[in-house]
């Protein structure tokens, strides 16, 4: 999930990868998360290392373009605000 959606997901009782409590996670983890969010060369590593099964991102985020093109991910939901991808 994107950093911005974490608090809402926790409130709804759903598991999160990251949320707005950056001090809880620490800098090393946040940089690891940013590999995926900012689509660096190794963007898939955090998703694979943590066996992430679904991704919630803001519509138009760079990661959504790669997930749409990947045979490993399926778009499950999309609107003007967010997109949800499920690992195949």
pTM: 0.85
Using pLDDT thresholds of 50, 70 and 90, give the confidence band for residue 17: confident
Structure tokens at 61: 């985020």
Q: For residues 48 and 60, is the Cβ–Cβ distance under 8 A?
A: no
pLDDT digits (tens, 9 = 90+) for 18-61: 888 878 888 888 888 888 989 988 899 999 999 999 999 999 99
CA separation (Å) from 32 to 4, 10, 25, 26, 74?
A: 16, 21, 11, 10, 23
Q: What span, in angstroms and rounded, lies between the C-alpha atoms of 17 and 7?
A: 11
């Amino acid at each position: 999930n994107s950093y911005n959606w974490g608090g809402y997901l926790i409130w709804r009782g759903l598991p999160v990868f990251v949320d707005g409590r950056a001090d809880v996670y620490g800098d090393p983890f946040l940089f690891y998360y940013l590999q995926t969010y900012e689509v660096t060369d190794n963007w898939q590593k955090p998703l694979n290392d943590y066996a992430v099964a679904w991704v919630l991102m803001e519509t138009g985020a760079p990661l959504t373009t790669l997930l749409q093109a990947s045979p490993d991910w399926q778009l499950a939901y999309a609107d003007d605000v967010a997109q949800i991808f499920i690992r195949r």
